[in-house]
Amino acid sequence: MGRLTPENLERARAIVALYPERRSALIPLCHLAQSQEGWLSPEAMEDVAVLCGVTPAEVRGTASFYDMLHTEPVGRHVVAVCTNIACLLAGAYELIEHAEKHLGVSVGQTTEDGEFTLEEAECLAGCDIAPCVQVNHRFFGPLDGPGFESLTAELRAGRLAELVPRHGVLCRVERNVSLPARDAASPGSPAAAGEENR
């Protein structure tokens, strides 16, 4: 656990090579490192720091600023409930209360089995499906209490794995430098988008 894998180190070096200044690759490398374990471990942040020519403290400072990056372990599914005005009026706080009871955790906590981390989000830009929820940055909604329970049951059973990748993987298709895109869920297999964009 911790250090970037040899494959990810190679990918990271290729990403750094895209930028005129190494430090400009900091955020893309944080996302790459997070995709490895679902969060940015101190060791991974050290690797990113070396690659970007910055200090580990600068990597942590940058990563801790962004909601999409986690510097502490999180669940396999990060569940964010929007509480901005449209979702609030549609029952977001009631949904959060139900979610806390159903999962047995408070906002900001992770279930004992490591399956779910519950978060409150200021705005997910899903007003048309209020109250909306994101699971690993995939949208669901509108949801009520029973709908939330159904969603978590489907996630726990793995029935939504094709739609919702494990936390840390932002996109199913990864762009490799000078290579076609490939399916992030199965390394090495070319994605259709990559074949079309050669």
Q: How far apart are CA 191 and CA 65, in angstroms?
A: 32
pLDDT at position 174 is: 57
Grade residue 180 by pLDDT with cuts at 50, 70 and 90: very low
Which residue(s) pair with 80 in the sheet?
A: 119, 134
pLDDT tens figures, 35-94: 998 999 999 999 999 999 999 999 999 999 998 899 999 999 999 999 999 999 999 999
Mean pLDDT of the chain: 87
Q: How far apart are CA 99 and CA 74, in angstroms?
A: 17
pLDDT tens figures, 183-194: 444 444 444 334
pLDDT at 2 over 70: no
* Domains of the chain with bracketed CATH: 1-74 (1.10.10.1590), 77-156 (3.40.30.10), 168-198 (no CATH)
What are the Cα distances from residue 46, in Å, to 18, 27, 123, 194? 20, 14, 32, 32
Element (H, E) at 78: strand 77-82
Q: Is 131 helix (H, G, I), strand (E, B) or coil?
A: coil
Residue 57 · residue 71 · CB < 8 Å: no
Grade residue 167 by pLDDT with cuts at 50, 70 and 90: confident
Nearest to 131 by CA among 94, 156, 167: 94
Single-letter code of the amino acid located at 143: L
Q: Which two tokens stand for residue 70?
A: 């986690």
Q: How far apart are CA 92 and CA 87, in angstroms?
A: 5
Residue appearing with tokens 């070396």: 50
pLDDT at position 130 is: 96
pLDDT at 26 over 80: yes
Q: What is the mean pLDDT of residues 15-40?
A: 93
Grade residue 166 by pLDDT with cuts at 50, 70 and 90: confident
pLDDT at position 177 is: 52
Please tell me which residue, 168 or 32, carries the higher pLDDT value.
32
